[in-house]
A and B are shown apart, each in its own frame.
Chain A
């Protein structure tokens, strides 16, 4: 099976812009989770989608949003970018309950200038 894919792999934006990141889960997986990884804060959970519904949400401002499509592909959007949003954004997919083993993608490296 193909692994989790994320596009784009690298992105450079300027403050105030918005960005959309995409994640394609492993075929058959219905759950997609997003994480932000920074040197200072480490890996932090953003949100999880299961069957097109947000199931869990981390402690991030409303500028961070996401969605999931009927084919389980997911996108996350960050509006009004700030310098502190520079990070590696990881997507992980899992089959769905009760199996919650997560398979991670390679990440999208976002740099905000």
Chain B
């Protein structure tokens, strides 16, 4: 069965420091991987997905099929990056049944 693991519930970094939010998945096929973000008092929204290979708000994530990981990285954290981050997986290309990890709350310390 498919599973998404985010090992850190809480992560604190100083402003300007690099940040990496970990995501590991288990699925025998070829999944689509996503990162969703929820800022305080806002809705859950898509941050990025592996198929687009974009950099959004300075964040990047590379799908590593060998390590079954999709870690989210940013070289210099900003205070506005403080939010809840969810890694999600879809087992069907183009489908909308996402399997979410439990989330990591990132706090950027000024």
Interface residues of A (CB under 8 A from B): 3-4, 31, 33, 35, 42-45, 48, 50, 55-56, 58, 90, 92, 94, 97-106
Contact = CB atoms under 8 A, between A and B. Distances in A.
Interface residues of B, number: 21
Interface of B: 32, 43-46, 49, 86, 88, 90, 92-103
Contacts of B32: 100
Given A100-B90, A104-B44, A105-B43, A33 B102 contact: no
Contacts, number: 57
B45 A56 contact: no
A48 B97 contact: yes
A104 B47 CA distance: 13
A19 B18 CA distance: 46
27 contacts: A33-B97, A42-B100, A42-B101, A43-B86, A43-B88, A43-B98, A43-B100, A43-B103, A45-B97, A45-B98, A48-B96, A48-B97, A55-B95, A55-B96, A56-B95, A56-B97, A58-B97, A90-B44, A92-B96, A100-B90, A100-B95, A100-B96, A102-B46, A102-B96, A102-B98, A103-B45, A105-B43
